[in-house]
Amino acid sequence: MNNGSTLRAWWKDPVDYRWLVDTLAARSALGPLKVLIGTAGAAIAVMGAVIAGTPVGPPGDPGIASTIGVLSGTLWAARWWLLPWPNKTESLLLIACADVLFTVEFLQLQDRLFGAMGTVLLLVTGSYLSFFHSARALAVHSAWSVLSVLVLSVRITTGGGDVRLALAVALLLASVAGAMPAFQLLYWLLRTESLSDPLTELLNRRGLENRLPQLMDRSPAICVICFDLDQFKRVNDTWGHSIGDIVLVRTARRLRDAAGETAVVARTGGEEFVVAAPISAAAARSEAERLCQVVAEPPETAVVVTASVGVAVFDAMICPHCPRPTPDRLLQSADAAMYRAKQSGGNLVVVDDLTPPLDHHHPPPDDRR
C-alpha cells in the first residue's frame, strides 16, 4: 500500500466505536478509563475554584465564568463516574462541548498569557478523539484548536503583551495541536496491522469481528460464506509449506477480487476464509457457488485446490420485523454449514438460511365471515 492509498484509507476509516468500547470492556479496562476521564474533569473543576478571584482568573469573586467552569467540571466528573459509557453520538457531543467550553473559559481569564497556555487542555480531548473516533472528527477538533490558539495569542498582543511572545506561544501550541493527526495515523496503522493477516493481507479473525457488525448495520440482507480448502495438508506435505503459502495467497487474492468492493474478506484460520457481503437470500447460493468455482480455477502452477463452502444468510427484506441474528450467530451457522459440506466430500456449497419462512411471520388470512 503506497502513501497516498494509506492516507486515503485512514481518512475514510469510520472507526468502529462500539467494537473499541466492547474490546476495552472485555479487557476490564473500561471502568478504570471512566474513572480517569472523570477525574480529569474534577481536576479542572478544582483548578477553576483555585484561580477564582485571583489576578489570573476570570473577573469577579468568584464570578459567573468561574462558577460555570467549576460546575461544568463537576458535572463532567459525575457523568463519567456514575453513568454508563456514552454511545458514539453522546461521546462526540461531550468532546465538542468540552472544546467550546475550554476556549470560552480561556477567553475570560485576566492573565492573557495564562489563558493562551490553557489551550493545552485541548490536547486532552484530542487524545480521546484520536483513539475513539475518526480522522474527520479529529480534523474538526484540530481546526478548532488552531483557531483557539490564534485568537488567544492575538489577545496577548491586544492586551499590551510582546508580539514575539504571542508568536512563540502560537507556534508552540499550534505545533503540538497539529501533531495529534500524526499520532492518530500511527495508532491507526498499528490497529490496522493488528487486525490483518500478515501472509495474505486480508483481515484476520479479529478484523472480521470488527468489520462484520459495521456491514450488518448498513445492509438489510447479509450473507456470510465460510471456505475451507479441501485436503490442504496434502498440499503442504507434497509440495512444502512455501508452496502452501503461495496457494493461500492466491486464494486470498481470488476471493478479494471476485467478492467485490462491498464485501468483507478475511482469513480466519490456517486454510479457512470468510466472505461477508450484502447479498439477498435468493442470490446467496449462486454467489457462493461462483466463489467456490473461483477458488478451484486452474492455476498457473500444478497445485489445484477446491473448497468446502458453508453459507449463512439473513434477509430483512423478506422478514422486516424478524430479529436479526448476531454476527457470532452468522459466523457459527456458516461454519457449521461448511463442516457439513466437508463431511459430504468437499467442493460443495451448503446453505443455512436464517430468515424465518414466510408462513412464520405472515399468518394465514382469516376466511371467517
Give residue-wise pLDDT tens across range 52-79.
888 887 887 777 888 888 999 999 999 9
DSSP 279: -
Give the dihedral of Cα atoms 49, 55, 57, 63; nearest 10 deg.
Answer: 80
Out of 193, 201, 261, 271, the active site residue is 271
Confidence of residue 169 (pLDDT cuts 50, 70, 90): confident
286-321 as b/e: b if 16+ CB within 10 A: ebbeebbeebbeeeeeeeebbbbbbbbbbbbebbee
**Three-state DSSP class for residue 350:** strand
Say what the pLDDT of residue 300 is: 66
Q: 159 lies in which domain range?
A: 3-194
Total of domains in the chain: 2
336-364 as b/e: b if 16+ CB within 10 A: ebbeebbeeeebbbbbbbbbeeeeeeeee
Same domain for 64 and 169, yes or no, is yes
Confidence of residue 222 (pLDDT cuts 50, 70, 90): very high
- What mean pLDDT is predicted for residues 140-169? 90
pTM of the model: 0.79
Same domain for 267 and 312, yes or no, is yes
In-domain check, residue 145 = yes
The CATH number for 333's domain is 3.30.70.270
- 271 tagged catalytic: yes
In-domain check, residue 367 = no
In-domain check, residue 199 = no
Same domain for 209 and 318, yes or no, is yes
Q: Cell triple for residue 336?
A: 457449521
Same domain for 166 and 31, yes or no, is yes
Same domain for 167 and 21, yes or no, is yes
pLDDT digits (tens, 9 = 90+) for 334-358: 999 999 999 999 999 999 988 776 5
% of the chain beyond a pLDDT of 70: 95
Q: Give all strands (DSSP E) within the chain, no chain letters.
A: 221-229, 264-267, 272-277, 307-315, 349-353
**Which of 194, 227, 254 marks a domain boundary?**
194
Residue 304 has pLDDT above 90, yes or no: no
CA distance 229 to 268: 12
